[in-house]
Amino acid sequence: MPITYTLNTDLERLAKTRLDSLGLKSKANGDYVLQLFNWQKRYIPSRPRKFSSSSHLVVPTELSQGYKNLKEAIQKGENINGYLSSNLNDANYADGFLNHFGLYHFHLGVGLETSGKSNGYIKRTRDIALAKVTDEEVIIILIEDHNHHSNPDIWFDPKYIQILHDEFPESIKKFKINEMIVANPITTADEFRKLRKVNVNVSVTTADGTSYMTPGGGVSLSGDSIEAVIQMQNIKRRIHGLEKTIFSSLIDFIPNQLGKCTVDLINLDNNF
């Protein structure tokens, strides 16, 4: 009895359907499962979190209300994704700041944008809050100008990891390199910029010699989030295993006279 599987094709189709239902832009290359996991890495689930800030933080007066609103939204467990970059709408967007340093940035405007690329997001601000987000806590590290002309190092400066190391070491503890010294560590924003451009994962070494291996999880040679790639590979391995299980079951119990059998994947649960 011939058995036809469409599970991998169905998986990509269902991932594309999920992306469309979320109103997200996606690249028409067939890697919809990877794009969905890439988006999920960047999306912040809503839950109450502790709000913390570094001793280096200075909040400009003109941003104080927006900062207060963000703080309250974090503590109440409200949806704070509207404070993020509107690139969140693009499932294929590679966020180097997140993938390499493990950090987010929040805009600090008051009210919502009503047109353009950022329609529906919190009003955009030139100065943004740079933050570490965990399941339990949001740590505001600094507020910085993110204009690439006046502050070209903002996405590449290792000082943010230095501050976390000094004041919130638990937030990056799992990336700490133990029992090994990194020779010739990368220390400047320019070096990080050049290596990130060619998708090289490098450790961040602090002033006391402590090193952290790519606190954002790193990227593959293609520039995709390694975490997203691993998730995609895991689910496709499960699909392959499912195909083998189905085949061994059907081949023994369904008579050949029934002819061709097609196995389809029809739905994804909400935890996908």
**pLDDT band at 7; cut points 50, 70, 90:** confident
pLDDT at 10: 84
Which of 239, 229, 238 lies closest to 7, judged by CA?
Answer: 239
pLDDT band at 1 (very low <50, low <70, confident <90, very high): very low
For residue 112, give the 3-state DSSP assignment.
strand
Cα 131 from Cα 116, distance rounded (Å): 25
pLDDT tens-digit map of 17-41:
999 999 999 999 779 999 999 999 9
Residue 11, class by beta-carbon neighbours within 10 Å (0-12 exposed, 13-18 middle, 19+ buried)? buried
- Supply the DSSP symbol for 167: H
Q: CA separation (Å) from 212 to 61, 121, 165, 172?
A: 34, 33, 9, 8
Instruction: Report how far apart, in Å, the C-alpha atoms of 28 and of each of 6, 12, 87, 92, 129 are.
Output: 19, 11, 17, 10, 33
Task: Inform me whether the pLDDT recorded for 14 exceeds 50.
Answer: yes
Tens of pLDDT along 49-101?
999 999 999 999 999 999 999 999 999 999 999 999 999 999 999 999 999 99
Confidence of residue 237 (pLDDT cuts 50, 70, 90): confident
Per-residue pLDDT, averaged over 238-264, amounts to 63
Q: What is the mean pLDDT of the chain?
A: 91
Amino acid of residue 127: D
Alpha-carbon gap, residue 145 to 152, rounded angstroms: 9
pLDDT tier at 270, thresholds 50, 70, 90: low
Q: What is the pLDDT of residue 135?
A: 97
Length of the chain: 272
Say which DSSP state 225 is in: B
pTM of this structure: 0.89
Q: What pLDDT is attached to residue 183?
A: 86
- The 3-state secondary structure of 79-100 reads CCHHHCCHHHHECCCCCHHHHH
pLDDT at 40: 97
